[in-house]
Structure 1
Amino acid sequence: MTTTDLLADVCELAEPAASDSVDGIAPRVVARPASTQETSALLRACHEQDLAVVVRGHGSKLAWGRPPERLDVLLDTTRMDELVEHSRGDLVATAGAGMPLARLQERLGQGRHQLVVDDLVGGTLGGSTLGGAVATNLAGPRRMWVGSTSDVVIGVRFVRADGTVAKAGGKVVKNVAGYDLSKLLTGSFGTLAVLTEVTVRLHPVPQASLWVGLTTPADHLAGVVAGLVSSQLVPHAVEVHVVPDQDPVVVALVTGTPDGAAARAEALAAGLGEQAWVADEAPSWWGRLPTTGEAEEPRPLLLRATARLSGIPQLVGELSRHGASLTGSAGAGVLHASLPGTTAPEAAAAAVEAVRRTSTALGGSTVVLDAAPGTKRTLDSWGPVPALDLMRRVKAEFDPGRILAPGRFVGGL
């Protein structure tokens, strides 16, 4: 009996296409549940038959992490895309995990609200879904303002590997009862459970947004960044952007009322010097991963490197020394950098090792999010993980049969 026959009565199924492969591993079938109940029935059947499952939204980050050890069912969440609730008075919303971030922002914007999560993959394959953003803990420029995705998620409904439906958190921000499973699942790359609904806290859409920028010599970067991050004018984001053989560009975001934002932006610009500029639109690179194209082949080497705020200029220098393009939050200590996919595996490995050594010394870490298959096989994607034994015990509790994305996460989880 085929996998399709086993799951035929559970939910909508489709034959896999080439685009359904996960980092080169093809599934036997694509399953498209439309609800938590269908997801539960699907996972129960997969658990009973020991079928390995990888979850996908739009697939924009499907190659992130390691290739799965095995793959039988690709679980597509895009039919679970409803805005379940938008509580305008409480600044809280609940949506299906398959809801595209762009559409969610559009719906929330009708009430002058926003989810402060930047979609770093933009238009790639339709952009990120809400579930995909949570699964990878996606965070961009405005992380400096409200924190990462894990900080705005206040509740989740999820299905465990054996089909058990559970929920964590709630629909109020001040929710302190029990373990915070919402944060545990955020950033777990779909290895612990399948998210079906997510509840998030919202923020009002500002009346005005302005960007203040400056191109600065690399040896002046530390002073410029420190001045912006500590400024009493309180920018909501401070980003640095570097491409090979060019001076860094630093841009800060200021929001508020039209008059207030304009006054603060002009004051920030004045403090940066006469070469600074103020714009009412973000630069084209703002809130985007530093890759050169949506369909670039071979895939670029994509890194996420972190450091304490004072160490960001040094980390920028190390990445630049290896010819990386980078964009990231100098105000939150998180950089995304890329090297061309044509970079030789030996050179890529040397760059990752050097950057990881620098970021570790600066109180951070370096993760390889993606790379061409030949390069990825030669790299340690995650680096040293002090809590790996604890993470393995958590995996064993949530998914003892190892059917959810086996091998994709830290330490082969």
Structure 2
Amino acid sequence: MISSNLEEILPKEQIKNNNEQEHPLGNGGIQLIEVLSEEDISKVLTYAHKHDKTVNVIAGGTKRGYGGSAEQADILLSLANYKGIVEHSVGDLTLTVKPGTTLKEISDELEKHGQRVALDTPWPELTTIGGIIAANDSGSKRLLYGSARDLVIGTRIVYADGRVIRTGGKVVKNVAGYDMNKLFIGSMGTLGVISEITVKLRPLPKYEGLSLLHFPEGTEQQICNFAVHILDSMMEPVSLELLTPSLAEHVTGKKQFTLAIAFEDREKAVLKQENWIKQNLPSRVEHTILNEEKARKWWRDFCHIGPNGHNDEENEANTQAALKVGSNNLDVVNILKLAEKLADECRVSVEAHGGVGHGISKVYLKGFPEGIVSYTRTLRAKVEENRGYVVGTHLPFAMRETIDAWGERPGYFVLLEGIKLANDPKRILNRQRFVGGI
């Protein structure tokens, strides 16, 4: 038994038999081990490396359906209770935090000091900072603030053999030479377990505004033209997020392509930019403005769209899936039109949105598994024709056995595999979780 050996290095109450070994999302483990410190992580990985035991890593569970072609490992390493703020330098606008801390917990604490982590990832009360960094997650506001990769300035990493390293530092200007942080951000936990993260902060905005532009059917070219117009202007939108009619009906009550343009700045600057929108509004386009608390509430609701690793249903007809689509920014309009069209052909329901400023789209599906598989294959083939990509960020394990969440191996796969073997030669950590089965 694994536990009898581990009880020599960890308290017995932290070692449990996993009662969810056959979880529909997979990525589980025979033995569940809850760690409470970096030392605990190191001890478990040292043990696993010595005894050739595989390890899956979990915290909030929101990324459980993201990649992974091995249903379970020997050990499921839980960071859910390894949480809390290590250091908050208010004057330097930096925060060091443990990976099991949820984004909401971080936001609630920083709000007391008028600061924030500029991330608007979905389900902030469930998703942890460790999961966000491991997946390089981001939301609609990455147009101005960037993704997780742009905010991290330092980490502590526990390698697969239990060794601990530090990358970057705790001040903003700390990188000389290659930025080692970039190696681990977005690697899906396949290179090491993040035990500490230092991120850059921003002050809370003085004022928030949201302009919703509702475009009549058949005026999609107007969306592209307006996006180019605003991107070429002196405006500084936080988001240029286009919603499909199905999603727009859900969050605005209007079943039309809707462009959500957010501004966050001093009140005078926000109102001036909103006035620019009014003056440059395309013909036949309806305009709704939300300010301050109404704008914040809209975004809070928007963050609760799609699957979260906990809200999947047993009813096969309501199987949930989520896709991330990367493309040229102005291709987003056609991708979202295609996303709606394929819904009818594959008999699934679809809600989708994409950034016409940054080119990342999110597609949320619900229906029978065979319809979702057909939809994903068709959408991927169409997107790849224009050198884009489609990644399955939430797929049940049985579906991931049918369709590769990551798509075809890229030409640079040999480099990824080389990095994996250099960091984890026994392939212990999150085996088969990343691109190409790494």
TM-score (structure 1 length as normaliser): 0.92
- Residues 1:22 and 1:372: Cα distance change in structure 2 (over 3 Å): closer
Measured at CA, do residues 408 and 240 of structure 1 come closer, stay the same or move farther in structure 2, by a change above 3 Å?
Answer: same
Shifted more, 56-65 versus 378-387: the winner is 378-387
SS of equivalent residue, structure 1 residue 318: helix
CA 26–190 in structure 1, closer or farther in 2 if over 3 Å, else same:
closer
C-alpha distance in 1 between matches for 2:167 and 2:90:
21
Q: Are 2:321 and 1:312 aligned? A: no
- Which whole-Å CA distance do the structure 2 matches of 1:34 and 1:315 have between them? 44
Matched residue SS, 2:337: helix
Give CA-to-partner distance per residue, 1:182-201, whole Å, 9 cap, x none.
11111111111000100101
Identity fraction in percent: 26
Aligned to 1:357: 381
Tell me the SS of whatever aligns to 1:71: strand
For 1:153 and 1:103, how far apart are their aligned partners in 2? Answer: 18
Q: Residues 21, 352 of structure 1: CA spacing in aligned structure 2 closer, same or farther, 3 A cutoff? A: closer
Q: CA deviation at 1:15?
A: 2.7
Specify the alignment match of 2:280 in structure 1.
271
Q: Give the AA of the match of 1:195.
A: I
Contact 1:141 1:287 in 2 (8 A): no
Q: Where do 5+ consecutive residues of structure 2 fail to align? A: 250-254, 344-349
Alignment partners' CA distance in 2, 1:235 and 1:290? 25
Which of 271, 280, 286 aligns to 2:302? It is: 286
1:348-400 deviations in Å (ceiling 9; x for gaps):
34422332233334342111122234433221211232211110011101111
Consecutive unaligned residues of structure 1, counting only runs of 5 or more, are none
C-alpha separation in 1, matches of 2:335 and 2:268: 36
Q: Which position in structure 1 is the counterpart of 2:84? A: 82
**Compared CA separation, residues 65 and 25, structure 1 to 2 (3 A):** closer
Which of 402, 411, 422 is the aligned partner of 1:386? Answer: 411
CA distance in 2, matches of 1:20, 1:177: 46
Residue 305 of structure 1 contacts residue 336 of structure 1 at CA under 8 Å; is this kept in 2?
A: yes
Equivalenced residue count is 407
1:185 aligns with 2:168: no
Spell out the pairing of 1:99-248 with structure 2 (5 A cutoff).
Answer: 99-122=101-124, 126-216=125-215, 217=217, 219=220, 220-244=222-246, 246-248=255-257
In structure 1, distance between residues paired with 2:109 and 2:191: 30
CA contact (8 A) 2:66 2:405 kept: no
Contact kept in structure 2, 1:69 and 1:407, CA below 8 Å? no
- Contact persistence 1:307–1:364 (CA under 8 A): yes
Separation (CA, whole Å) in 1 of partners of 2:244 and 2:57: 33
How far apart, CA to CA, are the structure 2 residues paired with 1:40 and 1:155?
A: 19
CA deviations on 1:39-89 (whole Å, 9 max, x unpaired) are 111110111111111111111111211243641111111222121111122
CA distance in structure 2 between the partners assigned to 1:411 and 1:336 by the alignment: 22
Contact 2:99 2:195 in 1 (8 A): yes
Residue pair 1:289, 1:327 contacting (<8 A) in 2 also: no
Change (3 A) 1:231 1:9: farther
Q: Which amino acid aligns with 1:275?
A: E
Equivalent residue letter for 1:236 = V
1:33/1:178 CA distance change after superposition, 3 Å: farther
Conserved? CA contact 1:213–1:269, under 8 Å = no
**TM-score normalised to the size of structure 2?**
0.87
| Cα separation, 1, equivalents of 2:173 and 2:387 | 30
- Over the aligned positions, Cα root-mean-square deviation in angstroms equals 2.2
SS in 2 for 1:189: coil
Per the alignment, residue 66 of structure 2 pairs with 64
Does residue 301 (structure 1) correspond to residue 321 (structure 2)? The answer is: yes
